[in-house]
Each structure stands twice: as structure tokens, then as C-alpha cells.
Structure 1
Amino acid sequence: MKILLVEDSATLRHAMSQYISEAGHTPLIARSGEEALQLLEDTPVDLIIMDVEMPGLNGFETTRLIREWLGGHWVPIIFVTGKNEDESYREGIEAGGDDYLIKPVSPVIIKAKIRAMARIAEMRDQLNQLNAELEALSQLDSLTQILNRRTFNDQANQHWRLAVRHQTPTSVLMIDVDHFKPYNDHYGHPAGDRCLKQITQAIKGCLQRPSDLLGRYGGEEFIALLPETDLAGARHIGQCINRAVRELSLEHRHSPVGDCVTVSIGGATCHHSMGHTLEEVIKCADRALYRVKHKGRDSALIEEVATHKTVLIVAQGGDQTREISEPLQQHCNILTTDTAEECLEIASDVLPDVIISDGESAFAEDHSLFRLLARSSKSASTPILVVSDDPERPNLLSDLEGQSPVGWLKRPFSAAELRTKVQMLLD
């Protein structure tokens, strides 16, 4: 073990360092509480032997700071003191100490204390390892050792948030073993389990990147999330999986598809995540899987998620229109107008997903834009984002509570800020 000795007395430092070395451990020396804190910033230790009576930070104060800094990571601390009063014991335990040594220190006792703390630290490490293993097991499907459904959903949502932030393509594949129930009924459940394990390995062989996620979604259904993968890439992987499963040559005499086990794959690719949710992409992949299964199975159908969301921009001038439209034009269908009346007409005919208005248009003539949109059932619930450089204007939005969802974006703004605001309203 690495044992940090915090002691201001040179004589005691020398003697106790020898005791630690004789016990088979490595002493690290700090001459004050301040020096101990600096050392701990860069050096992990397994045990601390702390003198209580020191100039500057005393042992109790230093221990409190160490416990605060280490947080949940526990390192045993033994106090060394010349005081033998009950109050000193109480204060030491409250400060975060685990044991006491009374000066003058006996070599036999200090070595025994170190052995005892070493056993406790070893049990702590074993417990931490077991907890880590249990945590890992709780995230995996017990049969296939890939992510279970709950963990897949958690990790997939983290990837999706990154895709929304960076506007990168994301693909989802739903993979179903063709006619698996007849396979189980004919060959037995142990054979069915072996079949699922082999299919898992075949799928994993087609997912080469560490960022690709694979989970077991149901009995014989798997799901894969492929970050930064466009339509062509998803189709390539789908074909790879179909081929890899066929090449397993797992006999399936009761399959109307063929003589061996096959899989059907439905997929969806979302090139621009703005305005979409991961659940929507998974549903699109599930619908594609349904069509594959009704067209004969043993193939992959990957489709692009429906087109971009439609944004209607209401602005008084070309500069304002360009300021809003340029950050969105690659991600949304853009319509523009410069009047409230035409905005209402377009909103009623086209049904945009969100309306973005500059402050001048939004608040002209006593909020006429909002009042016009609220009168029509087709536009009354359309989300509205107001863009303005007037710091007083947000107070006027309180008058509109109970009408359409309304967002506010103050100039100047970045492209990312605009896209984030639009995404929030679309969600």
C-alpha cells in the first residue's frame, strides 16, 4: 500500500517511515496539512496516518478537507495524537477519522493497525469490484450478453441528443428472427437459446464501430442504433446482417422462407434530427420491419424518415428573413412572408410545424399576428418563436399565456441557439 504520513516532527517522521517500510508498504511524506492536500491532488494513496497537533491546518481540519475533496471515495485515516481525552476521540471521529494512535507510538501497534486497515481497504476494493460487475450485469441481457432494452433506450437517447446538437444522420435497425416460434417448438428451447446467441454474434460482426449500439428488444427481436450513419450506410449494414445470418447455416426445416434460419430487418434513417424524436425513428423502423415480414422476409428495408419540418418565417425585411432562414434551410422547409394576413393564410393552408416572427411583426398593431392566428382552429396551436433585440419585449409574452406555445430568442443569436429554440418548440 501507499501510506501517506502527515507529521510535522522530523524525528517522528523518520521513525514512523521506518515502521511503514518494515511492514512492507511505501511511505509518502507530508510535513503539514497543506502539503498533504497538495500531494493528494496528484497521488492516490491507500491509507493516511495523520498527526493531530500541527501548526497551520491541524489534523482534524485537514481530514475534513480531505473527506470533502475525496467525496464518495473512502481512504482510511488513522490519527496520531498525544491527547487521550474522550472529547479528542469524539472530535476526531466527527472529522472523518477511522482509528487512533496515542504517542509515543509503539512499532508493534502501528504495524497491527496498518494490517487491519489494509484488510478493510481490500474488502472495500472487492466490494467496489462486485458492485461494478453487478452494475454491468444489470445492463446486459442475460442470454445474449448485449444491452437489455432499458439500457439500450438510455444509451440510445444519449446518442440522439448528440445527433440533435450536431445535426448528424442517425439510423435505427429492427431485426427479427424469421419464424422463430416453429424453430423453438421443433428443436427445443436450448437450441433456440443457442440460435439467438449465434445470431447475436453474427450481428455484432457487422457493427464495427464502438459507437454502434446493439440491444435485445424482445424474445427474438434485436435493435441497433447506428450514429453518424446515412441511408446508404444503414442499407449496407442491413445487407451484411442478412448475409451473415444466412452463412450461419442454422437448419430450420419448419421455415417457409428457406432451409436455414434467416432474419428480417426494418430500418429508418434520420438525416436531420431537428423536429424528430428517437421514438419516431424507432417507429419508422418498426413499420419498415412490418412491411418486410409481409413481403416474404429474409431481407432488409431501410427508409428515410419523413421530410423536414416546415417553418414559416414572418419578417419585415430581407436581412431579418435571411438571419432566420439561413441556419435552418438545410434542416427545414422554409416559407416566408412579411404580413400577418398572409401568415394566417399560409398557416391555414400549409399547416407549418412552427412560425418564427421578428419582433416588429409579432407585436405590431397590438399583437395582431397572435390574435389572427388564435382565431383559426388550424393555426391556434401552432408554436411561435419571436426573435427580437428589444429587451423589454419578453414582458409582453405573458399576455399570450393559454394560446399557442410561444418561445423567445434575443438578438444577437447563434445558429445553434436558433436551432435549439426551434427544436424545443417542435418537441
Structure 2
Amino acid sequence: MTNLKSPKVLVVDDDEDACYLLQVALTTAGFQVITAENGRDTLAVLETERPDIILLDLNLPDIDGIALCRRIHDCYAALPPPILMITGTKDDRLVNEAFEAQVTDFITKPVNFTILKNRIKRILREQETLKKLETVNLKLTKISQTDSLTNLANRHHFQIIFFQEWARSIREQQSLGLLLCDLDAFKQYNDHYGHLSGDACLQQFAAILKASVNRITDLVARFGGEEFIILLPNTDTSGIRKIDNRLRQQLADAAILHGNSRVDKLLTYSAGGIAIIPHQNLLPNDLIGLADRALYKAKANGRNCTVMASGTAGSS
């Protein structure tokens, strides 16, 4: 967050007198000032400092201001600091080139310090607004991708990632795994304990699901109601069984009471799994359909078990 009471300005100018006057004027106006004489020094400063704005002379001895502007933007993966370029040029071609290099604005020589001070303040206000908008957009993106109850990925986000992994698995001819889980007798759980306790149970199971996977590429999502799905790229049938066994052990260790359960009055789940190497003649939703039919068989087999659908499994 930019500290608007004392923003940090990096002044880049090889003219000692001009640099000194800028430093005095900006310090008097309440800014923190750091300086650099050339492009090399500027890049060195940026390794340890994060200025709120850079005041950059167009003409430098080792690298021109436009090229340095590009280098500065390359230094930042996130939002780079705004760059206010000082120039005496009236060459429209250079001005256009500078804007293409993402210079924020210009101020002309000789510098009017009152205009400079107010222009810096305006740019910093705009930058602060951009940061706030970026934060809001990130939050909105997360909300749009997340199930509000369990904080897992929602079904919509799962579908997006699933289709991406499907296409990648076709290209690389790698096995893609799914494990579709459904809590056993969950309607009876809600009837017995109430919906608030049911929500808490879903949250607890979601946390156990998330703890059962450990690769960044694995995705756990709430598929709907008490149904959850795990996407497992580069995973074969044996890999899915390992995840399933770990999940069952963690759920048993949690010992979530379920008065209507057939198994020691504890919460259990049924699951359908599948792992295949996708191909052009198979649609992504076909894989979900196969996992769903396997889940149905697990329910028919008495619940608290996992059925693996048949498929051509690749290697993990």
C-alpha cells in the first residue's frame, strides 16, 4: 500500500545540479527521495527498494530512458511503479515510443516544481485507485471460483480447469484421473443433526479432502450438495487408490459421528474413480459420466466403498 503521507520517489538523472534541485524540491514537498545517476544504478536500486514513483530523465549516459523504462517493467511481476519522464524533447516519435514503453506521463524542462509536485500526487492517487481495483478484482475472481460454504473450488471453476487438463493430457498422452465422492446417508445426517450441523460436516469433510492431496496440480471441488470431486492429472488407477485410501484413513481418524450410519455410527463416503488417457473420440463429460456410474455402483454395493470404472489407464 502506498504511504500517501510520505511517498518514495526515485529520481534518475545524471545531471548533478538538476538532480539536487529535484531532491530539494521534492523533500520540501514531503516526499522521500532516493537518487540514481544512470540506468545501471537504477536497476541496482530497484533490487532493494520499491519506489512509489520513478522520475526518469529521457537522456542518460549508459541507456536511454525509454529502454530503461522497458527494463524497469521487466523487473516487476506485479504492478510496476508509475514512471514520470522528464524531457525537453518535442519529438512526437519519441513521445509515442515512450508511451508504448509504458511511461505514465511526461513533464517538460525546465521543470516547474509546483506542477511536478501536483502531477506526482495525481499519479499516486490514480495508482492507489488501480491497486484497490486490482484487489477487488482478485477478490471477485476468487469468489467466482470458490464454493462459499467449503472454500473449495466450485463446479464452474472445476469445469474450466478440467477442460484445460483434458486438452493437455491429450497433447502429452498422460493419464487423467477423477475421484467422485458422495457422503453416505447425508440426508439422514441433516434430518438427525440439523442443517447447520450438516454444513459444518461438509466443511470438515472438505478440509479432509483437501488434506488428502498434496500436488499443486490436483484440484478438489464441491460438485454439488454432498458430492465432491478430485481432479488428478498424470495419475493412474493405482494413484487414485492411494488417494482414496489416504482419504478414508483421514476420515476414520476424524471420527465424525453419524447416528444413522451403518458403520460404527461414523460418517463414511462412497466413491467412483476412473483414470484414462483422453483421446479425441471421448468428451470430457464422458469421463465424469463414467465416474458417476462407478459411484452409483459403490452405493448399490452397500456404500462406504470405492468402485473404479474400467478404462485404459496410463502411468502415473
Shift of 1:144: 0.7
Instruction: Return closer, same or farther for 1:79/1:236 CA change in 2, 3 Å cut-off.
Output: closer
Q: Does 1:178 align with 2:184?
A: yes
Corresponding residue for residue 33 of structure 2: 25
Q: Does 1:274 align with 2:279?
A: yes
| Structure 1 equivalent of residue 112 of structure 2 | 105
**Paired residue secondary structure (1:158):** helix
- C-alpha displacement of 1:175: 0.3
- Counterpart CA distance in 1 for 2:138 and 2:54 is 25
Alignment partner of 1:305 is 2:314: no
Give the AA of the match of 2:142: A
State the AA in 2 paired with 1:184. N
On the 8 A contact 2:9/2:34 being kept in 1, the answer is yes
State the match for 1:122 in structure 2. 128
SS for the counterpart of 1:103 is coil
Partner of 1:192: 198
Q: 1:25 to 1:52 in 2, by over 3 A?
A: closer
Q: 2:312 matched to 1:288?
A: no
CA distance in 2, matches of 1:307, 1:21: 68
Do 2:184 and 2:303's aligned partners in 1 also have CA atoms closer than 8 Å? yes
DSSP-derived class of the 2:245 partner: helix
Output one character per residue of 1:110-129: Cα deviation in whole Å (capped at 9) or x when no partner.
44544443343333223322
**Per the alignment, do residues 213 and 246 of structure 1 end up closer, same or farther by CA in structure 2, a change over 3 Å counting?**
same
Q: Does 1:237 align with 2:247?
A: no
Q: What SS is found at the alignment partner of 1:143?
A: coil
- Contact 1:284/1:305 (<8 A) preserved: no
Q: Within 5 Å, which residues of 2 pair with 1:213-252?
A: 213-252=219-258
Report the identity percentage: 31
Q: Looking at CA atoms only, which structure, 1 or 2, has the larger radius of gyration?
A: 1
Q: TM-score, normalised by structure 1?
A: 0.57
Q: Deviations over 1:196-252 (max 9, x none)?
A: 011111112221222211111001100001122221221122232233223322222
Shift of 1:304: 3.4
Larger mean CA deviation between 14-23 and 176-185 belongs to: 14-23
8 Å Cα contact 1:4/1:29 also seen in 2: no
CA contact (8 A) 1:245 1:263 kept: no
Q: Measure how far apart 1:132 and its partner are.
A: 1.7
Gaps of 5+ in 2: 1-6
Q: Which runs of 5+ in 1 are unaligned?
A: 309-329, 331-427
Counterpart of 2:4 in structure 1 is none
Deviation of the 1:294 alpha carbon: 0.9
Q: Cα RMSD (Å) of the superposition?
A: 4.1
**One-letter amino acid of the counterpart of residue 25, structure 1:** V
1:143 aligned to 2:149? yes
Taking the TM superposition and a 5 Å limit, the aligned residue runs for 1:275-354 are 275=280, 276-305=282-311
Instruction: Describe the shift of the 1:307–1:8 C-alpha distance in structure 2 as closer, same or farther (beyond 3 A).
Output: closer
Q: Is the 8 Å Cα contact of residues 23 and 33 (structure 2) preserved in structure 1?
A: no
Q: CA deviation at 1:172?
A: 0.5
Seen in structure 2, the aligned counterparts of structure 1 residues 203 and 12 have a Cα distance that, compared at 3 Å, is same
1:126-150 deviation per Cα after TM superposition (whole angstroms, max 9, x unaligned): 3322322222222111111111111
Measured against aligned partners, the alpha-carbon deviations of 1:38-70 in whole angstroms (never above 9, x if no partner) come to 969x87864243557999x998xx49x86xx78
1:247 match: secondary structure: helix
Preserved contact between residue 292 and residue 301 of structure 1 (Cα < 8 Å)? yes
Q: Any conservation in 1 of the 2:184–2:270 contact (CA below 8 Å)? A: yes
Q: Structure 1 residues 20 and 296 mapped into 2: Cα distance closer, same or farther (>3 Å)?
A: same
| Higher RCO by CA contacts (8 Å cutoff, separation 6 or greater) | 2
Aligned residue identity for 2:278: S
Q: Does the 8 A contact of 1:178 with 1:261 survive in 2? A: yes
The CA distance in 2 between the partners of 1:146 and 1:307, in whole Å, is 27
Rounded Cα–Cα distance in structure 2 between residues aligned with 1:195 and 1:265: 18
Tell me how far apart the structure 2 counterparts of residues 58 and 248 of structure 1 sit (CA, whole Å): 63
Question: In the alignment, is residue 208 of structure 1 matched against residue 214 of structure 2?
Answer: yes
Distance 2:85 2:172 in 1: 52
Q: Distance in 2 between matches of 1:238 and 1:268?
A: 12
Looking at structure 2, the residues matched to 53 and 13 of structure 1 have their Cα atoms a distance apart, in angstroms, of 13
Give the aligned residue type for 1:105. Answer: N
Alignment partner of 2:224: what SS? coil
> Given the alignment of the two structures, is residue 154 of structure 1 paired with residue 134 of structure 2, yes or no?
no
